[in-house]
Structure 1
Amino acid sequence: MNLKEIEIFLQVAQTGSLTQAAHRLDMSPMSVSRRLAALEASLGVRLLHRTTRAVSLTPEGAEFTPYARTMLEAEQSARVLFSSGRQGAGGQLRVTAPSGLGQRILVPLIPTLLAENPDMKVDLQLSDEVVDIVAQGFDVAIRVAPLRDSNLIARKIADNPRVLCAAPAYLQRHGRPQRLADLASFACLRLSNVLQWSFADDGQTTGVSIDGRFSCSSVEGVRSLCKAGLGLAQLTHWDIREELRRGELVAIELQDVQPQALAVWALFPSHRYLPLRVGVFLDALAKAMG
């Protein structure tokens, strides 16, 4: 396979247009079309549906896309590896992460990461939605929720158990829950999409439904009101690590259940080839999280 043809294919797949891809590559649309046809002929499959108005991936094209990115990135990294004056990693690093963890942990890493790697660009997308990192072209996803069965490769970064917590002032006024059933008598602050709080009971996950007077779509909102003394919250260790250290929040242990063990995970499409920029980023993240 010709790497120029692979580059053309990825540009067309990204833009959904032969004309736009041709403009980016400083080529004519006819040349782009011919090179795509040559790539399809060499693979023996049709990669793109072409109409007069748009271009879209065939199922075979979607399956080929991550391999195409891997081949192109490997070639680019090999050039950087043996270039004179090389300093650090290069290329665009695309990362998706939960908003709370991203703001607290990832964003502070970026200035040093860019300073130490002048040829690197970073596209950080913060969202609490689970995205398809292969289809959307992300190099790595940072996730906290329990991992589902997947074809993605997972690397554990740090332990991140759930923590039941409250402000000292709230506990002074209302006391402290002792058992799981006691939570029904306390004001509970929850994330909008979390209808149950999860705990561990003899190695099994158990949950209790939460219907408090306040819910919020962001960790920041729940954490802020918890600090203000409006009720109990269940967040993860890295969401409230600094507040626990400063004494602004207190961890609460219940007698009949234990905190659910979670972790911060890095997910990426394949071990076949890991771009240098991904390794550099993961090493920086692991160091920051101790």
Structure 2
Amino acid sequence: MYNISDLETFIAVVENKGVLAAAREQGLSPATVSHRLSKLERELSTVLVFRDSRRVRLSPAGEVFYTCVGAIIEALHDAEHSIGARSSTVSGLLRVTMPPWIFSKYVMPKLSEFESEYPQLKLDFLITDHFINVVDDAQDVAIRVGQLNDSGMLSRKIVNNSRVLCAAPSYINKQGMPSNLTELAAHY
């Protein structure tokens, strides 16, 4: 099945009058553009463009398809623009949940600078030590510590978080100094 990218590539080939120029415009390899065009023609069971080494020319079916698809792609881009999806300005509401210590240590020191850089973005923080389900609690982003258990979520490491374990000398005298992780777990 073809997709929107295939249709956009077809439009680019027609409007740039060739595969090489369309590839440059889309930031793709000429082979990828040619593959997308061939896939589209195969799915539609028709020839859309006649091509030789120097130029492309629309077939009669290609002319009809170009007119219809061009209007559809333009309407789709207009719809995306009207909801801000293609806007280069970062705006809207961003809901973020995180533990309090992350907020105070990492976010607060940079918050003023961030808000100055993105004045049209509203931030709504849910600061809690409790695990928040991103979907159920309508959060856009969750800042977590440790391994991500839910493989359905996307993750990106944003900072190293070094920890130091400390104990009072009186505790060590009473409980003993653990020499490995198993012994340390027994202290919990």
Place the TM-score, normalised by the shorter chain, in its bin.
0.3 to 0.5
- Bigger radius of gyration among the two: 2
More helix by proportion, 1 or 2?
A: 2
More strand by proportion, 1 or 2?
A: 1
Say which structure, 1 or 2, has more relative contact order (CA 8 Å, 6+ apart). Answer: 1
TM-score (norm 2): 0.47
